[in-house]
């Protein structure tokens, strides 16, 4: 069988370009015992993929040149030599960007469709939702009446973070990059206030005005000057969940900014970086809470779905231009 794959053609400098990817046609071998042949249905694109395009060690292996990009994929089983999966099953795994994929049964998880869209298992009921849940609940630990600020609030993780904070009884302030996103977060996802950072001339003063009692929890998806402004408004014993730094991922020079250690020290602030695999043993807890809130209508979600396997590189680059509302997913 001939299938198409997308490989890393060059390691980008700064913002990735379409030329950093290459499409190839390859022939797949017959499947062996314990393997399945899959057809990709939905492919996840995520900011962390940018770091995997660089050289050097990180918390996950880097993408190799001339080898397929890899990410979360929902797929259907076309052929099986596995006792765990049969033809027609829907599965989830960290899989290569190929239209048809041969995978070991050990790398896959069966998905039972209980929500309106299978793609939710790449989003609110997948790693996106779990990232929001554990970062906020295990590190941020919001209490009723506290103030929570979320940067990248209109992104896949940010939308979920804000709603979970509201479920906990917090006052929630979001930071996003357009008036359309501001309106969406307030009207559809329950944010109390949202700042458009692209049209705001004094983030420090605006945050101080909207958070008169200070910031108790900061869920940081962005970094850079936005985080500098939030940190200036932290309360004593505030908590920072350090989830992402998308504003810095394409920097070609070492970013410089305020020295935040004095603020963390004098206000007894906890700042903890995390990756979702830190909480792997607790995944059942997170999935149980997220599923319950979705089924109760307390947790809503939105997606930006791009049509066509060939659009995967374009969709990934769109993340860094803020073209997504919620989770960015490519439908094959």
% of the chain beyond a pLDDT of 70: 98
Place 56 in a pLDDT band, splitting at 50, 70 and 90. Answer: confident
pLDDT, residue 191, reads 98
Q: Are 252 and 276 in contact, with CB atoms under 8 Å apart?
A: no
Q: What is the pLDDT of residues 266-276, one digit of tens each?
A: 999 999 999 98
Lowest mean pLDDT, pick from 56-60, 91-95, 164-168: 56-60
Q: Which residues lie closer than 8 Å to 127 by C-beta, 6 or more apart?
A: 44, 46, 72, 276
Asked if the model's pLDDT at residue 180 lies above 90, the reply is yes
Q: What is the pLDDT of residues 149-166, one digit of tens each?
A: 999 999 989 999 999 999
Asked if the model's pLDDT at residue 102 lies above 90, the reply is yes
Asked if the model's pLDDT at residue 311 lies above 90, the reply is yes
Q: Is 207 helix (H, G, I), strand (E, B) or coil?
A: helix
Q: In terms of pLDDT, which residue wins out, 256 or 86?
A: 86
How confident is the prediction for the chain on average, in pLDDT? 94
Q: What is the pLDDT of residues 294-309, one digit of tens each?
A: 989 999 988 899 999 9
**Which helix (DSSP H) or strand (DSSP E) does residue 37 occupy?**
strand 35-44
Of 297, 284, 288, which Cα lies nearest the Cα of 116? Answer: 297
Q: Sign of the CA dihedral 28, 72, 247, 312?
A: positive
Read off the pLDDT of each residue in 234-238 and give the average, rounded to a whole number: 98
Tell me the DSSP string of 70-139: EEEEEEEEEEE--SS--TT-EEEEEEESBSEEEEEGGG-EE----SS-GGGGGTTTSHHHHHHHHIIIII
% of the chain beyond a pLDDT of 90: 80
Q: What is the pLDDT of residues 9-47, one digit of tens each?
A: 999 988 999 999 999 999 999 999 999 999 999 999 998
Place 114 in a pLDDT band, splitting at 50, 70 and 90. Answer: low
Question: Which residue do the tokens 């605006």 mark?
Answer: 206
pLDDT, residue 57, reads 73
Q: Is 187 helix (H, G, I), strand (E, B) or coil?
A: helix
Q: In terms of pLDDT, which residue wins out, 257 or 37?
A: 37
pLDDT, residue 257, reads 81
Q: Which residues lie closer than 8 Å to 104 by C-beta, 6 or more apart?
A: 34, 35
Q: Sign of the CA dihedral 208, 247, 163, 326?
A: positive
Asked if the model's pLDDT at residue 230 lies above 80, the reply is yes
């Amino acid at each position: 069988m001939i299938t198409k794959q997308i490989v890393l053609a060059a390691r980008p400098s700064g913002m990735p370009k379409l030329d950093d990817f290459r499409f190839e046609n390859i022939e797949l071998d017959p499947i062996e015992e314990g393997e399945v042949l899959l057809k990709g249905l939905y492919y996840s694109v995520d900011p962390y993929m940018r770091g995997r395009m660089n050289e050097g060690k990180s918390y996950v292996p880097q993408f190799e040149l001339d080898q397929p990009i890899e990410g979360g994929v929902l797929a259907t089983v076309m052929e099986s030599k596995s006792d765990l999966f049969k033809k027609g099953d829907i599965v989830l795994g960290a899989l290569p960007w190929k239209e048809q994929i041969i995978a070991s049964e050990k790398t896959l998880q069966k998905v039972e469709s209980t929500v309106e869209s299978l793609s939710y298992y790449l989003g609110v009921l997948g790693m996106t939702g779990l990232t929001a849940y554990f970062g906020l609940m295990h590190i941020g630990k919001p209490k009723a009446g506290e103030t929570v600020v979320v940067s990248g609030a209109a992104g896949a993780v940010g939308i979920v973070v804000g709603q979970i904070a509201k479920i906990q009884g917090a006052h929630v302030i979001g930071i996003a990059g357009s008036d359309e996103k501001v309106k969406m977060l307030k009207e559809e996802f329950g944010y109390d206030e949202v700042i458009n950072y692209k049209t705001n001339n004094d983030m420090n003063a605006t945050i101080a005005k909207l958070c008169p009692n200070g910031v108790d929890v900061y869920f940081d998806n962005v970094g850079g000057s936005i985080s500098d402004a939030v940190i200036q408004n932290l309360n004593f014993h505030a908590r920072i969940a350090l989830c992402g730094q998308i504003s810095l991922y394409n920097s070609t020079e070492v970013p410089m900014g305020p020295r935040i250690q004095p603020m963390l020290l004098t206000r007894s602030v906890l700042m903890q970086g995390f990756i979702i695999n830190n909480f792997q043993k607790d995944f059942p807890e997170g999935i149980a809470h997220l599923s319950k809130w979705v089924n109760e209508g307390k947790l809503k979600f939105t997606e930006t779905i791009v049509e066509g396997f060939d659009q995967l590189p374009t969709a990934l680059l769109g993340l860094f231009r803020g073209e997504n509302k919620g989770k960015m997913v490519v439908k094959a």
